[in-house]
Structure 1
């Protein structure tokens, strides 16, 4: 073999080795990027309103990374727990109706007024009723003093339920979902529950009469908003931008002032919440969860049963409704005493 031939073969071998090394390096790089892309794609799923990871629940409810980026979502689902609880009350009382009243921890005044008026009724038309006040954690000062007062109030009345989320307007969705979790855990054997705001007058006789003829499953009613437009005014507290909710209309939903539900629904709505992103507008969010489960709220049998705008007091009008919001200066105790003393009078 001539020196020229040997040098040619060595040159060809060197070139081939270089090509093999290059191909090997390229293959390694492709495998690396493929694995990274596959991992990242696991956390990306389309759909504006579905949870990014339906099985992933935050174990740190006080830290809401979503709201730091997008203030229209809230930290739910998360592992909230109860600081003050009444786990045996429904088992002991076996109520037909459970009334859940969301209220600020510091608002003792509203709680006491409700206890003296419609919330003090324990039996109506032969049906047992139990009332609970649902609280989050106080966001101001002094926290320690208020916590002691709440513990004392709980010992006196056995009607407080407090969880470890921050009690604020933007956390009303969390408050409502924690309420549903609690109902499912501790009151699932009861027939119905009603979430009712603390600034609302409630006619329990009319409510019980309505429920005696109501469906026992998949039932949700109240002041029903149908075809409501999504608020695009950025100055409004109900504003939702299109990138959060692109549709122009909401599904039909019951307004948060007071809605009634059969007690098969809490479990179903909590389950739906694992698949539907939690927006801060609580009554709309419940409607999205209900829609996910194929459940539709229904109109009450009388459209005058629920009043969103405060209804000026009139004995005959109040004797025919179920619930109405009240003006902040309305004397609920005075209304209650007048209605009780004149019950049975003709209108």
Structure 2
């Protein structure tokens, strides 16, 4: 029986051999753009354009996730590497997985003969009568195969190519969060329509997903195929399928950071967090698989950050990973979190900012022993020339924590993750609230402690709240972020890194969630925005949290500085001015105001 099926398929191959894709289509009249691009093509369902198709005796023909891997007929080594690596899994997280290599035609009889043998041996090849140069038509043929043969055999479709390594495990973490009709991948936004700038009425292509990987529901695939019959053909495959067709159907296109495309030869702990690594040779695929399946690989306490936009906008070579279990702490005071405290204040400071640290010690950081609050400065290690001075400062004040990483503005996110690690490791039992601030901020500790003691210390995250804040698009802006690193126009609600407060349960949630995400370069956006949103914690503020005016000793009523949490004076002189006004308010027994949080 099996021999008969193969013979019939080979006859079909020889009879259809070398046909042009254009012969299988007819023109349609609908074209809503001003263009002279070739008109739409209509797939004729009554014509069988599939040359090779796995027979129904395959035990994994039906599965939860069906993977189509686009491959050239002569890519025998790529297909073999995938079969022996990530393509060997038939079950991931209790879900069944099956793969199909999707190839076009070849005019080389030796290659076709070898391909036929490969098909007979592995039963995982689909060959369609279309040239490899026509990517759009090949993708339409895939949708047609799904429509004709797989409607009752799968739930989800993953389309990819044969020069990538796919990490299937993270996919099952996001599927429950997606709507019924969806397309997910690496989303491109506001891409200039270079292929038809003079011919199309649209300046930009619609939002679309890069062709290296698409994840979609079965219903999405079927609707895309049916809609193609009445939608003008476009030569750019990903723009046409996931852009024009999806836009016409109002299908949700979702971007996920874990779908980031990263080049090969990188830390395997990064690949544990993402779905796709591309531009791989067969040897690369096998090498990565060997590393990822190494029983000694430990990524449970590993965090990885995207590179800075100024260094490499394509973020392929500058991704760095840090294992927090082996992270070297250079200085940690013996008394760190040894006593019970209402407030633990961690002040992010640069090694060179000793004058700022002294100003804090002399003003708001001069905490009396009877007060249940303690403060520590958190430093990196970027200036070996003054390391001896740091050691002396630490010995004298016993309030410096130093960790071994380069202390730059692009490592502020890493610095805050280290803070969360230290706090969740040493302070869970002895601390009620964590306060994170900078060394150019003034914290009204007395008022903050008074306010927080009126609240239950659970699910608290308060600070200076930014709502619907736009991504900075000006390249000369200090915090410029290109859209290939963050594609949305606005950030989730977040708190200013100048000073925010969280209860210890929130600190633990944020720390644990950080291992599932790629670190974002903007510390406050990542910690209090992205991570907080991921664990369903709303950042809040309250009236009077920040004293916005630049303080002066003159012309201020004595009670003006009685009810605020943070002032951002920036200089040591300003710090002293604020401190004098706060002490004046305290000595005058000014009434404190309490305001309900606003989220």
Quick check: 80-89 or 289-298, which moved more?
80-89
> What does 1:23-102 correspond to in 2, within 5 Å?
31-35=80-84, 38=87, 40-42=165-167, 46=185, 47-50=255-258, 52-54=271-273, 57=299, 66=307, 69-70=312-313, 75=320, 77-79=322-324, 80-86=327-333, 88-91=335-338, 93-102=339-348
User: Is this contact kept in 2: 1:77–1:273, CA < 8 A?
Assistant: no
Q: Quick one: structure 1 residues 322 and 31, their matched pair in 2 at CA, closer, same or farther if it must change by over 3 Å?
A: closer
**Residue 112, structure 1, aligned to residue 358, structure 2:** yes
1:115 Cα deviation after fit: 1.0
> What does 1:126-145 correspond to in 2, within 5 Å?
127-139=371-383, 143-144=384-385
Q: Pick 1 or 2: higher relative contact order, CA cutoff 8 A, min separation 6.
A: 1
**Residue 292, structure 1, aligned to residue 573, structure 2:** no
1:60 Cα deviation after fit: 10
- CA deviation profile, 1:248-290 (whole Å, cap 9, x unmatched): 2111111011000101222211211111211110000111111
Task: Return the match for 1:239 from 464, 472, 480.
Answer: 480
Unaligned runs of 5+ in 2: 1-73, 88-163, 172-184, 186-254, 259-269, 274-296, 591-599
Determine helix, strand or coil for the equivalent of 2:84.
helix
Which structure dedicates a bigger proportion of its chain to helix? 1
Task: Return the match for 2:562 from 313, 319, 331.
Answer: 319
Task: Return the match for 2:396 from 152, 156, 159.
Answer: 156
**Residue 304, structure 1, aligned to residue 544, structure 2:** yes
User: Is this contact kept in 2: 1:306–1:324, CA < 8 A?
Assistant: yes
Determine helix, strand or coil for the equivalent of 1:115.
helix
Q: Quick one: structure 1 residues 168 and 342, their matched pair in 2 at CA, closer, same or farther if it must change by over 3 Å?
A: same
User: Is this contact kept in 2: 1:220–1:259, CA < 8 A?
Assistant: yes
1:76 Cα deviation after fit: 5.3
Q: Quick one: structure 1 residues 103 and 323, their matched pair in 2 at CA, closer, same or farther if it must change by over 3 Å?
A: same
User: Is this contact kept in 1: 2:343–2:432, CA < 8 A?
Assistant: yes
Q: Quick one: structure 1 residues 114 and 71, their matched pair in 2 at CA, closer, same or farther if it must change by over 3 Å?
A: farther
Determine helix, strand or coil for the equivalent of 1:317.
coil
1:28 Cα deviation after fit: 7.9
- CA distance in 2: counterparts of 1:120 and 1:41, whole angstroms: 54
Q: Quick one: structure 1 residues 104 and 32, their matched pair in 2 at CA, closer, same or farther if it must change by over 3 Å?
A: closer
Q: Quick one: structure 1 residues 32 and 288, their matched pair in 2 at CA, closer, same or farther if it must change by over 3 Å?
A: closer
User: Is this contact kept in 2: 1:75–1:174, CA < 8 A?
Assistant: no
- Could you tell me which residue of structure 2 aligns to residue 270 of structure 1? 511
- CA distance in 2: counterparts of 1:220 and 1:305, whole angstroms: 13
CA RMSD of aligned residues (A): 3.2
TM-score using structure 2 length: 0.47
Q: Quick one: structure 1 residues 278 and 344, their matched pair in 2 at CA, closer, same or farther if it must change by over 3 Å?
A: same
- CA distance in 2: counterparts of 1:71 and 1:343, whole angstroms: 53
1:344 Cα deviation after fit: 3.5
- Could you tell me which residue of structure 2 aligns to residue 12 of structure 1? none
User: Is this contact kept in 1: 2:359–2:572, CA < 8 A?
Assistant: no
- CA distance in 2: counterparts of 1:27 and 1:264, whole angstroms: 52
User: Is this contact kept in 2: 1:206–1:320, CA < 8 A?
Assistant: yes
Pairs aligned (count): 311
- CA distance in 2: counterparts of 1:155 and 1:320, whole angstroms: 35
Q: Quick one: structure 1 residues 163 and 317, their matched pair in 2 at CA, closer, same or farther if it must change by over 3 Å?
A: same
User: Is this contact kept in 2: 1:74–1:279, CA < 8 A?
Assistant: no
User: Is this contact kept in 1: 2:438–2:498, CA < 8 A?
Assistant: yes
Q: Quick one: structure 1 residues 217 and 77, their matched pair in 2 at CA, closer, same or farther if it must change by over 3 Å?
A: farther
Quick check: 275-284 or 213-222, which moved more?
213-222
- CA distance in 2: counterparts of 1:339 and 1:273, whole angstroms: 37
- CA distance in 2: counterparts of 1:245 and 1:27, whole angstroms: 34
Determine helix, strand or coil for the equivalent of 2:473.
coil
